[in-house]
Structure formats: C-alpha cells, structure tokens
Chain A
C-alpha cells in the first residue's frame, strides 16, 4: 500500500487502540494529515528537508506481513535481526537467549506496567517533550508515523548481566521505495554492562527508514552503543535516540552518519553521577545532506557529558550539527562540553554547527566550541616532501582528521576507512 493511500484510509477510519498510549486522536489530527513532515521552521529540522529527499510513490509495510529474509552479513556476531523493521525472533542466536529478554511492546506492557507508566506517564505531552522540548506538535509527526506503522520490541537486559561481546542490532532494509519504521525500547537493568552495535544494512534502494530508539539505563548500568549504516546511498534515514540515565549509569554513544541522514539524539542525565560521552562523524558527498541534533539535559547533581563531533563535507554536500547542553536547576557541580570540527573538501561544500548552552544552575562547568577549515596546503606540502602524492597526502590528512576523534569501535573504524576511500573515488 502506498503511504498516501494509507494516510487517506487512516483519516477516514477511527484510530485503532495503540500500544503507545500517547498516540491519541489529538496528535493524529488534521494537522498530521495535512503534512506528515516536521516543519522546517522548527530548530531541529531547519537543516534537513526530508520532504525533498523522499520519492512520491513511497509504500508502507503493513503489519504482520511476511517478509523474505534475503541477506545476513556474517561479519557481525550476536545478532538481533530486524527484517525491514520487524524483529525476527526465530533468528535469535542461542547464546543470547539466556542473557537478554526480548518482547513485543504489547507483551511487555502486560509484564511490567511500571516501566511503561514511567515512560508514558504524561501521555498527552510525552511525544512533544521527548522530541523537541518545545510545545510544537509538528515535531512529533515522525514518531507518530513510526508508532502507527510499527509494533516495536523491548529488549531487556536483566539486573547484573554482563555481556562482554558486542550485540548487533541488525536492521536489514531489503525492500524498495518503502517507509520502514524500526522501534526499539531497551531497558538496561541495574548493574548491567552491555555493548551494542546498531547497524542498518541497506540492500534496497529509495527507502526511508524512520527509526526510534528509547533507551533506559537503570542505576549503575554501563551501556555502549555504536551506530553505523552500510550501502546507504539512494536511501534516506531519519532516526531518533532517547537515552534516560539513572544514578551512576554510564553511556558511550558513537556514530558514523553518512548519506542523506538526520539523527535526533537526546540524553537525559536524570540520576546523580550519571555520565555520558557522545562522539560522531558526519560524512557527506555529492549533493547529500547530513544533519544531527544532539541535546544533553543535566537533570541531577554531579552529572557529566562530553560531546565531540567531526564533520567532513565534500562536493556539493552539506553537514549540519545543532548541539545543546542544558543544565537544569538542581544539577549542581555538573560538567558539560561540546566541540565540533569541520573539514570542507570542496569550495561548494557547506557545513553548519551551532553549539548552545542553557544553564539554570550555579556551580557548574560548561565549555563549547566549533571550528571549520580546509585542507592546509602547508601540510600537503610537508607530506609530499616525504614522498606522498598530492592525492594521497590529502587522503592522509582526512584520515588524520578522523583519527583524532578516536572512536573505540573496530567496525566503525573499518567503516570510516572505506568511507574515506570512497570520498576520493
């Protein structure tokens, strides 16, 4: 079914009962049907025009439709396989079965009402708060769309569980011209320690993946997530990550963003002494647009956040980054930093970075900065004088620029190397 037909049908029929209590007729209103896209005037979306990037004849995946599993790249281990946004329980590897629990959101709703109550406690405003922080329902549109079309899963990591090997959330996108809506809720229980690779592997073209991740880190949990996509060319990605940290929990998030991609990352440091490190690389080429909105909210004393970003724009492309550190009243002795560096590889390439601080408490420490530059001729000459060709010297300097970020993930580092090569093809 085409997306437009689906929306027409939805408009005529009454909204079905949803597993997301906030998805009410108030949100799925006339405004939603007029346009499913966020308003470009809203801060988070002004650098990424999703409407212009996706085709008119976009299809939707209907619920419970059986999808053929076409390809699994066996370079990855400990796989949780999502086939075009739908979790394939039958492919769950045995070594993971006894360590983590996976539920459909409807099942989990029955199992643990408290967590869902916690998540959806303020149903009417939930979507607005989590997505924008401002009262603008337009920013909830993609979340609403996701919720309408995806059942979603809950991944629960039990108390005290320690898994040393990286778990791979393998999003296989094999359809064509389709809107795919992964929805994943992860609950890392107390004292757990896990590492995830969030991989989106595109085997189809002209798709739009609209993903939502809701991640809760309970007291003293330690959580790492590396985010990566492969073969993204000719596909568009919008994704939203919301991390909620309780006391003494730790989050390390690293990401490589390429192609036409928009990420909305929110971290809420709700518990005392919680800490996060966010690192990412934005790479754009041809006419691509690559955008990140990343906001960290310090909501408790002694919380720490560090953001470090690198942007690489080539050809006629654009990278953009809106970063915000918000320190609320009561978050005394908190520390936040945001830094970005951009390397422009062509005269027509564009980049935008806007670091912001919003501080409502004394006795805090915050720093932010953004820099932009081109390949320095002096450096190219130095390398040439040591035998590297001009082209290799420039490649080497790009690599140096990326290496400075020190992403501690082998898959991400491998991918960055091949992406750097691709920039020079």
Chain B
C-alpha cells in the first residue's frame, strides 16, 4: 500500500532520513521503534505532507502513485491519516463541527455527498462512547483544555470516523496511563482490518503488547538498522537501543 524508496530528507541542511527504504503492505501493521532524535517523527510528517522538509532524493508511493508532490489535504483525501503526537488546540471551533467539516472535506474531494447529519451524530456518539468520552466532549472546542489522554482519544475518534486506508500513529501511546492505553489500543484494533495498513511509531513495548505488529523495524540516524517480527520488541525491551545503535 505504501512504499518508500531511497528517501533522503534534510531539515536546514541536516540529514534526517538517510536513503530509507520501507514497504507497508495492505492489511499489515508495521512498527517503527527507535531512540529520541532517530527521525521517526520526520518520517510520519513526510508521509503526511508537512511543510519544512527538503526531499533530497527518493519517493513515496501510495497505492502506486508518487505522493511527494501532493498537498497534505490531497493525501488525506487519498486515505492517508496521521494521529499526531501533539494534537493541535483550536479554540473557537467545536469538536463535532470540526469532525463533520473534516469528513465532508474528504468526501467532497472524492466526489461524494456530505454526510447525513443524523447518522453522523449517531456514529460519533457511538465512537465517543466506546472510547469512554462523554457527550460534552464533542461540544468542547477542538483539543482545547483536553487532557493528554483526551487529545489522544480524539485522534483515535477521528481515525475511526474517517476510516482511512493507511494511518501513521506517531507516538500515540506517549503520556497515557494504563487505562487510557487500553482504550486507545482497543480503538486501533477495531480500526485494523485486511483492507488497511498501520504504521505504529513508538518508543515502548507496552502499546505493542496490545497491538501485535506484523513487522518491527529499529530506526536510528534516519535509517532502518534492524528488522524482524514482534519478537524483536522483546529483545529490544531487554537490551535497549544501545545494543543495536
């Protein structure tokens, strides 16, 4: 579904991703683990089309199409979604209004009619309920005054509502307590299917205890230094990154 070939990326002349090659097939869950500053977040930002990165060489193909020249919103319309490590606060816009605008923007780009208001409200209420969020959560301003856990839950709520083909979870587990981690893992498992793919970016094993990845890659200095299956997570947890870097 997503294929990264020979990708090198710099920020202010500093090489962050170094000739990276990575393929995430349809229906697979791939985890990238690595120490701080290894380039994990750069990778997720470059996939989703964030500004400020210089692509020196290589490409990213999504369903066979090179997406590097596509805007972030075009990528979203194609079915790429990123759950942010630090979701942005926007006071003045109600969460439910934002969610409907997001859904309808994607639908419009795919030549689909806007969502039916009633069924949309039913769906977001159902998802919110599953994530243990009360109704007032939807009328509050977007991420404004939300706790860390609520922000991450809101990212998963959007994931379940938007139903993208491919999602990057950029440290979705950071700052979560055990209960919130369980809820969020359950949400991700509900999203995961044979028709979509997930790229999980994390530091720790604990999220991967709940969501078993098909492949695990250890990342350092902007490239993959070790690949394996979920057993690699245990080795990493025992020996630490030092063993590999």
Contacts and interface: CB of A to CB of B under 8 A. Distances in A.
Nearest to A379: B88
Contact of B162 (A377, A382, A386, A404): A386
Contacts of A403: 92-93
Contacts of A379: 88, 90
A382 B84 contact: yes
B185 interface: no
B77 A385 contact: no
B240 interface: no
B105 A387 contact: yes
A388 B50 contact: no
Contact of A384 (B71, B87, B101, B142): B71
Given A378-B88, A382-B87, A385-B48, A399 B93 contact: yes
B92 A387 contact: no
A402 B158 CA distance: 25
Given A392-B105, A396-B101, A384 B91 contact: no
B63 to A, nearest CB: 17
A397 B109 contact: no
B39 interface: no
B90 A400 contact: yes
B101 A385 contact: no
A387 B73 contact: yes
Interface string B10-50: 00000000000000000000000000000000000000111
Interface in B146-171: 158, 162
A402 B199 CA distance: 37
A38 to B, nearest CB: 36
Contacts of B82: 385
Contacts of A390: 71, 73
B233 interface: no
A404 B92 CA distance: 4
A388 B90 CA distance: 14
Contacts of A392: 105
Contact of B72 (A381, A397, A401): A381
Contacts of B87: 382
Name which of A386, A400, A401 has the most chain B CB atoms within 10 A of its CB.
A386
B131 interface: no
Chain B interface size range: 20 to 34
Contacts of A381: 49-51, 72
Contacts of A121: none
Interface in B60-82: 71-73, 75-77, 81-82
B138 interface: no
B109 A401 contact: no
A388 B102 CA distance: 6
B93 A384 contact: no
A77 interface: no
Contacts of B49: 381, 384-385
Name which of A378, A386, A387 has the most chain B CB atoms within 10 A of its CB.
A387
Contacts of A378: 88
B93 A387 contact: no
A404 B91 contact: yes
A101 interface: no
A381 B50 CA distance: 6
B198 interface: no
Interface in A361-418: 377-379, 381-390, 392-393, 396-397, 399-404
Interface string A142-171: 000000000000000000000000000000
Nearest to B50: A381
A386 B90 contact: no
A394 to B, nearest CB: 12
A384 B73 contact: yes
Name which of B71, B76, B82, B105 has the most chain A CB atoms within 10 A of its CB.
B105
A250 B163 CA distance: 50
Contacts of A389: 71, 73, 105
Contact of A388 (B51, B81, B105, B158): B105
Nearest to A403: B92
B106 interface: yes
A388 B73 contact: yes
A377 B53 CA distance: 14
A23 B87 CA distance: 61
Contacts of B72: 381, 384-385
Contact of B101 (A377, A382, A388): A388
21 contacts: A377-B51, A378-B88, A379-B88, A381-B49, A381-B72, A382-B90, A383-B90, A384-B49, A384-B71, A385-B72, A385-B84, A386-B158, A387-B73, A387-B76, A387-B102, A387-B105, A388-B102, A389-B73, A390-B73, A400-B93, A404-B91
Given A386-B98, A387-B162, A402-B92, 20 more contacts: A381-B51, A381-B72, A382-B87, A382-B88, A383-B102, A384-B71, A385-B48, A385-B72, A385-B76, A385-B84, A387-B103, A388-B101, A389-B71, A389-B105, A390-B73, A392-B105, A393-B73, A399-B92, A400-B91, A400-B92
Interface of A: 377-379, 381-390, 392-393, 396-397, 399-404
Nearest 6 interchain pairs by C-beta: A400-B92, A387-B105, A403-B92, A387-B106, A384-B72, A386-B102
